[in-house]
Amino acid sequence: MKTAQLNATTVDQARTELCRHLARLMVAGSHNFRIRTFLSDGEPVRGCLYTYRNHAWRKVEDVDLSQSIVEVLDEQLDMLVSRAHADAWSARQKNFADRRDVDIRFHRDAIDPHLNGNLASFLLGSLFLGHHDSRKDVRRQMRWRSR
């Protein structure tokens, strides 16, 4: 399902829910996540969230990404993967016949200052910038100055 066909409120709710889960897990010490989307006939049907701890991926049992949320987030995750990295995170995708994994790694130095504040809002702004905000990425603002 394309985001353009969805109500903006639905997209915002799915993004907010994902960021709240990620923020809660970051406060607990995780910085690496995998969002696994299970596919049926190429369409997302459900999803799971994993954290990387002690050299292994572990499923987060209390997070259920239902079909409605996964359908909305599917295109959003494609946009993250197409950007590949930003100041606070990097993302990559692995495709399989029956599933798709999107790994998101958050950079500790960018995230740790926000752990005591409203981390979910920071993640929402960092992950889901509008296309017009892309020039606000710090790396894009760097310019070499001749002396």
Kindly give the confidence (pLDDT) of every residue in the chain, 147 residues in length, as a single tens digit, with 9 standing for 90 and above: 454 556 778 888 889 999 999 999 999 999 999 999 999 988 888 899 999 988 999 999 988 788 888 888 888 888 888 887 788 899 999 999 999 999 999 999 989 888 888 899 999 988 887 544 444 445 444 444 454
Q: Cβ(44)–Cβ(37) under 8 Å?
A: yes
pLDDT of residue 100: 94
- Residue that the structure tokens 């406060």 belong to: 27
How far is the C-alpha of 66 from the C-alpha of 68, rounded, in Å? 5
Q: Nearest Cα to 62, choosing from 31, 17, 101?
A: 17
How far is the C-alpha of 112 from the C-alpha of 85, rounded, in Å? 18
Burial of 146 (0-12, 13-18, 19+ CB in 10 A): exposed
Beta carbons within 8 Å of 105's beta carbon, 6+ residues apart: 31, 32, 33, 89, 90, 91
How far is the C-alpha of 70 from the C-alpha of 36, rounded, in Å? 10
Amino acid in position 2:
K
